[in-house]
Structure 1
């Protein structure tokens, strides 16, 4: 029997946010180019990752997801989320 190891996503506990009715594994990321803070989270039903930044809202692709090795364009992906 083969077991698949899920990729591990480590986030600091101080940026973790509570789940809501639609999103889980929510956490904040700070923009590198401004004082803005965006929220990254996983859709509970469809299992894709999203970001609240303009790039993801417009194009369903953003540098924040890419930096975390998370897929863009609403592709589902499971991870092992660890709060540090």
Structure 2
């Protein structure tokens, strides 16, 4: 059974050519929104925040218990 992640429908974003299961997360320190999504081909999760862009790890993925460093990982998204 895949781990489940509840996402509010208002936070969901449409898939694009490279990314699927896209949704917004809020920054803890500002009013910015970041996008978390799964790479369609390699199946790893990424975030648009500066931490992930620089280090391939971030507190947003860690808080959701999603592996960092481009590790493939599958979850079941539940619309809330």
User: Does TM-score exceed 0.5, indicating one fold?
Assistant: yes
* TM-score category of the 2 structures, normalised to the smaller one: over 0.9
Answer yes or no: is 1:32 the counterpart of 2:2.
no
Identify unmatched segments of 5+ residues in structure 2.
none
Structure 2 Cα separation of the partners of residues 52 and 83 of structure 1: 21
Bigger Cα Rg: 1
- The CA RMSD over aligned residues, in Å, is 0.4
Over residues 41-84 of structure 1, what are the superposed CA-to-partner deviations in whole Å (9 max), with x where a residue is unaligned?
A: 00000000000000000000000000000000000000111111
Structure 2 Cα separation of the partners of residues 46 and 63 of structure 1: 21
TM-score (norm 1): 0.94
Answer yes or no: is 1:6 the counterpart of 2:2.
yes
Identify unmatched segments of 5+ residues in structure 1.
none
**Secondary structure of the corresponding residue to residue 55 of structure 1:** helix
